[in-house]
Structure 1
Amino acid sequence: MSRIRTLGVLGAAAVAAVVTVVAAPPANADDLSSGSWYYQALHVQEALDAGFTGKGVKIAVIDTQINPAIPTLQGANLTPVDKTYCYDAQGKPIPPTSTDYAAAMHGTHVASLIVGTGEAEPGQVPIRGVAPQAEVLFYNSGIAAAPDSSLTCLDAKGENRPVESLAEAMNDAMDAHADIISVSQGVPYSGALNRALARALALGIPVVAGLTNDALSTTGGYPGVGNGSVGVQAIDATGAVQKADGFSNRSLSVKVAAPGVGIITQGTSESWDAQELGSGTSLATPIVAGFLADMKSKFPSATGNQLLQTMIRNTGGTLHDPRWGNDLGYGTISLTQMREDNPLAYEDVNPFFDPKASQSQGPTVDDVGAAKGAEALKPTAGTQTTTPQAGKPAADGASAGTPAWVPFAIGGGVLLLIVVGGVFAVVMGTRRRRGAEPAQAVDKPASDGEHHMHAPTGAGSGADQGGRG
């Protein structure tokens, strides 16, 4: 059976070679309250109060099954798409929803960080989404099962269907006019997935995807490492990049960093009524997708490419020319600073797309051109909500060209760290800028942990290289 690894939140029962789980003493309510550090550190409530809520923006989340019955998802603008992409070993269609913890934990946690309402059981920590008024279309691309939390997907005849379900879900999301696609899993490269990503690039739809949590992995997971995608890194409350086996997680595919270590999640292997702390890029990914939705809700005419241009110029709480490194990419996402900028001032060009990339690195210029041609031939062409629109040059003189980012197919292996307890202090200090060992304070803020689904076969290899200035 083909398997895809989640890049995300796994309970303590999910112990296998695929993921690493670190046990900790039982947590009390005070310990768990530290899991909402991302909400305070990135000043999310201030953004919501200012009208950056994601309202009117459609986010497609593609993940494992989901349990919409948990408190923070009840009443949320969430639609599990009722379509079967995979079948189980018995030939039964896999529905999008489930109350089985192993099957639905990952997708439930991811969606909660976008549209969680903050509703909670008495005495529990509220889980608040960063774009609570956005519309989430939830696509299930397989079923996760203990003990290794791998994502299994078969066709109706029981044949392997390793990545077709993800590519099909991405295409369905684009047909539904999603503004942003969020994927917290990693799969091997395939022609179908390459075409789906090329189509997203042609339509100007950001594909936000988690990178591996395994600092030692060199095999890789699409779409996070694909040409033009938004590969997401996870940081902790101090702004440090998450670590695996003592090594900082670095990647040539990282584009931006976001909180992903020590995050409060609903449900444990014991009960959905319990809470615990989870870590990994799977949790950082929906925060990035949500922040992009918040910006689009205030600048509805901005294209997806312009949102990305704004994102990389406002990381770390300051306006600056884009600077890249293999730890935090272009830096830690800052909605506070993005709010002060106008995305319409930037050129409608994806800053992560390398026009010189080879076929093995993801969509090429020819692939994207073919996708644009195919869209132009469709009767409904022009109805896409993110219709390309040229912007004027940046007022501050920032470069509007396409950086020569070289995609690197690091792998899909993902480490997941669930810490049921421990006190996570929110340290809001000054962060060292790029070049030194990672230490970016979150939102003028700042990882050590893991959370990702991934499929072990995959793309290229290579050694870590220094960041670009």
Structure 2
Amino acid sequence: MGYQPVVSTRAFSPIGRVFNLRVAGTLCATLALTGIATGYQAGPARADDRRITAADQPYYSYYHLDSARAKGYTGAGVTIAIIDGSVDTSVPELAGANITDKTPCTVNSSTEHAAHGTTIAALLVSHAYGVVPDATLLAYQSHEETSTVGSDCKPASKMPLSDLPSLINHAINDGASVINLSASSNKHDDTLKWAIARAMNEGVLITAAAGNAHEDENETSLSWWSGVIGVSAIDTDGKFASYSSWGQGVTTTAIGGPIVGWDESGKISSARGTSFSAPIVAGALAQAHAKWPNATSNQLLQLLINTAVGHEQGWNQYGGYGAANLGGMLNTDPSQYPDENPLADKGGGSSPTPAEVQQYADGLVDPTQIAYDNSYAYRGLDESQATNKDNPYPTHLGTSPRYHAK
């Protein structure tokens, strides 16, 4: 292709509440998801006058996306959210794509972070080579350590708008059916637990990258949580990628590169990483959702697992239930599968538990632990919540369905 080859991978170590971009090669960045932005940042002046095409992306032919497009499987009517860097919609590959910035506060993003967000967006919805070019893409900007965050990201006496639980809940508020996070997360607190419980309860699918340190990174991946689809990486020969991490939370695996995109210097370059595997799976789920609109999210998860290449051999910590089979998902009716979440209990004490998901559904979670969820109402018996100034949610004491179940 004439583009810069990938010659190395980079391993990241999370520090505190730092989120790390799960990508290796020339598009790498280390992120701290403590801020987001209200407008797309202008990308660097492009040094190349070439255009990136489907022929430059090995995953495009590997997954026969030309055939999918010919049959109309383009994700039309489905809304996907990415929590990532800012998206430069001026790149030619995103011309005509349906992308909206929905981030709720201000951040000035680095060019490296913006390059990553733009590459993820193009992988999903580029008309040239996106997995689901007709899907609607909502972008929620995180930020890296060198970014500056506006004061509006932390309203007085409220949770930060820029934290991951807030971003997940905002994506659900805005109607996303699938959410992708191509970064790591060592945040294991209640606000994130209840955001994921809400996603599970409302049937919103979350894909997450497994990491690039070639080690068990389960503790620092969002896929540590129940319900989250952890994605490791394979090469184009179908073998487990040398850089890919693994762990208890891995559900499936997909091509991790090379992916060609615009780097922070405005040049076309290539990279490998589970950052790219995760949105490929997000796109596959969006394709399937569009093809099978009556299927529940649980049935789509069952479809992903039961059509995966090698699923007959059972689960393992490297490839999960097997490699995502995009064609198989489009050719297999998910209505044959039970409406049961196969990731509700990943073992090893995963959370939220089914009981906790039901606790959320019943309105019995302490509302001070709920971050920007526009659907939540407290329905428990704690009378102090009616006058609690830190409770921003409607309070209907004693109305939980749990109290009225037969």
* TM-score bin (small chain): 0.7 to 0.9
Q: Is the 8 A contact 2:29 2:113 kept in 1?
A: no
CA distance in 2, matches of 1:307, 1:186: 24
2:177 is aligned to: 179
2:265 is aligned to: 270
Deviations, residues 166-209 of structure 1 (Å, cap 9, x unaligned): 11011111112211111111112121111111111111211111
1:114 is aligned to: 124
Correspondence for 1:55 among 42, 53, 76: 76
Query: Structure 1: which amino acid aligns with 2:166?
Result: E
Query: Structure 2: which amino acid aligns with 1:169?
Result: L
Query: Structure 2: which amino acid aligns with 1:114?
Result: L
CA distance in 1, matches of 2:112, 2:232: 24
How do residues 49-448 of structure 1 correspond to structure 2 at under 5 angstroms? 49-84=70-105, 93-94=106-107, 100-118=110-128, 128-143=129-144, 145=146, 155-156=153-154, 165-188=163-186, 189-218=188-217, 220-244=219-243, 249-265=245-261, 267-271=262-266, 274-316=267-309, 321=312, 323-354=314-345, 358=349, 361-374=350-363
CA distance in 2, matches of 1:176, 1:33: 30
Q: Is the 8 A contact 1:63 1:184 kept in 2?
A: yes
Q: CA separation of 1:162/1:172 partners in 2, compared to 1, >3 Å: closer, same or farther? A: closer
Query: Structure 1: which amino acid aligns with 2:120?
Result: V
Correspondence for 1:3 among 7, 10, 18: 18
CA distance in 1, matches of 2:255, 2:209: 12
Q: CA deviation at 1:258?
A: 0.7
CA distance in 1, matches of 2:171, 2:28: 33
Q: Is the 8 A contact 1:58 1:134 kept in 2?
A: yes
CA distance in 2, matches of 1:170, 1:334: 26
| Larger helix share, 1 or 2 | 2
Query: Structure 2: which amino acid aligns with 1:172?
Result: H
CA distance in 2, matches of 1:36, 1:112: 11
SS of the counterpart of 1:349?
A: coil
Q: Is the 8 A contact 1:117 1:129 kept in 2?
A: yes
Q: CA separation of 1:152/1:333 partners in 2, compared to 1, >3 Å: closer, same or farther? A: farther
RMSD: 3.5
Deviations, residues 241-269 of structure 1 (Å, cap 9, x unaligned): 1213xxx643222110111121112x123
Q: CA deviation at 1:327?
A: 1.9
How many percent of aligned residue pairs carry the same amino acid? 29
Q: Is the 8 A contact 1:209 1:285 kept in 2?
A: yes
Q: Is the 8 A contact 1:113 1:129 kept in 2?
A: yes
SS of the counterpart of 1:62?
A: strand
Q: CA deviation at 1:74?
A: 2.3
Relative to the length of structure 1, the TM-score reads 0.64
Where relative contact order (Cα < 8 A, 6+ residues apart) is larger, the structure is: 1
SS of the counterpart of 1:52?
A: coil
Q: Is the 8 A contact 1:102 1:144 kept in 2?
A: no
CA distance in 1, matches of 2:137, 2:364: 24
2:5 is aligned to: none
CA distance in 1, matches of 2:165, 2:28: 30
CA distance in 2, matches of 1:167, 1:15: 19
CA distance in 2, matches of 1:144, 1:300: 40
Any gaps of 5 or more consecutive residues in structure 1?
17-26, 85-92, 119-127, 382-469
Q: CA separation of 1:326/1:357 partners in 2, compared to 1, >3 Å: closer, same or farther? A: closer
SS of the counterpart of 2:224?
A: coil
SS of the counterpart of 1:186?
A: coil
CA distance in 2, matches of 1:12, 1:346: 39
Deviations, residues 129-174 of structure 1 (Å, cap 9, x unaligned): 101111111111224649xxxx989854999x89962110111111
SS of the counterpart of 2:254?
A: strand
Q: CA separation of 1:342/1:375 partners in 2, compared to 1, >3 Å: closer, same or farther? A: farther
2:383 is aligned to: none
